[in-house]
Amino acid sequence: MIKPHGSTQLSPLFVDDDGKRAALIEEAKSLPSQLLSSAGAGNAVMLGAGYFNPLNGFMNRADALSVSEKMHTVDGLFWPTPVMSLVENNTASAGDRIALLDPNVEGNPAIAIMQVEAVEQMSEADMEQIAEQVYRTTDEEHPGVAELMEQGRTLLSGPIEVLNFSYFEIDFAETFQTAEEIRQEIEQAGWKKVVAFQTRNPMHLAHEELCRIAMQRVEADGCVIHMLLGKLKPGDIPADVRDAAIRKMAELYFPANTVKISGYGFDMLYAGPREAVLHAVFRQNMGATHFIIGRDHAGVGDYYGDFDAQSIFDEDVPEGALEIEIFRADHTAWSNKLNKVVMMREAPDHSKEDFVLLSGTKVREMLGNGIAPPAEFSRPEVAQILMDYYQSLS
């Protein structure tokens, strides 16, 4: 099986020994505490679940700025985005042992315990540098930049021990999995080549067919459809609806034992190219050998070029930094000429009118009015789930 990033063995930070974890949960009640931001809690979940292997906790200022500028830590570990705990109203000092509290669960239980190595202040210049280099903009209309700038300016860094997986393991008990759990299932299935598909949206027919195309071309044994379960921008479809729609598609339209549906607990960054690289890192950690990156991967608005998330792997990712291979996909759509879904670049004799193309706005309008998109765009069973959701809003 493919090695995890930066190490030979996966080292998740979740305390899986029940007795030790119970003792730490009890200890946390007596420790000084610090409320995390939603982004910080998401980072803790990803560290706990092994997706952020080989990191042992939250980055300090020097590492955060180095990763933003050069995509590696001060010690040289390749990493594409800062993994920070930016807080407000801090009372901790270096050397303290503190409980980190979860802002996304009622009662704010401890999600982790941190051994604080440094307490540093991030200047506005530091924050703008991170925004410019990671998101390629300081425009706070960008949802990822807005989320970054809304966080505190005190940076707590140090190793952590993770006590739970926030609301993800409760609200998405059938879908949320750790990187180690996915690795184990891949091994049990006997899959050697594994394609990963990232999604924060329900999957239309073109997405479904893209998974098939990738599996066929790399001769993969299986595909992990891996959905983000955390916070999105306003207007995006909630995770439980996406989950139901994707599961229905996989159940009805893929052969048994070829597709695995899973999810991870993290808030969307909308960081385009940098987030695409982060996605590749944690897909390697979960055992995928190939990762699909299509048009405007992890993008939002007009902040990134259509294929910047592919070109970054040629221009900024050092050779050998990652073992996972990238499957570069074009926009996929139904061809009326060929009566099948194709990647548009592979149909040079087509005009735009030869494809079934619907804007997101048009699709939402149809679904909200109880009108299913054409079968060339969406499976009817998937469309029904989405229609039910949109009509429940009115």
Cβ–Cβ < 8 Å for 100, 113: yes
Rounded CA gap, 329 and 310, in Å?
Answer: 9
Rounded CA gap, 3 and 332, in Å?
Answer: 31
Per-residue burial over 301-326, b if 16 or more Cβ lie within 10 Å, else e, is eebbeebbbbebbeeebeeebbebbb
Beta bridge partners of 161: 113
Catalytic status, residue 295 = no
Beta bridge partners of 86: 155
Distance between start and end Cα atoms, the chain? 48
User: Which candidate in 21, 97, 136, 200 is catalytic?
Assistant: 200
User: Which candidate in 21, 61, 97, 201 is catalytic?
Assistant: 201
Give residue 65's identity as a one-letter amino acid code: L
Distant-in-sequence, close-in-space partners of 58: CB < 8 Å, separation ≥ 6: 40, 43, 83, 84, 85, 114, 155, 156, 157, 158, 160
Catalytic status, residue 201 = yes
Give phi and psi for 201, each to the nearest 5.
-130, 165
**Catalytic residues, which ones?**
200-201
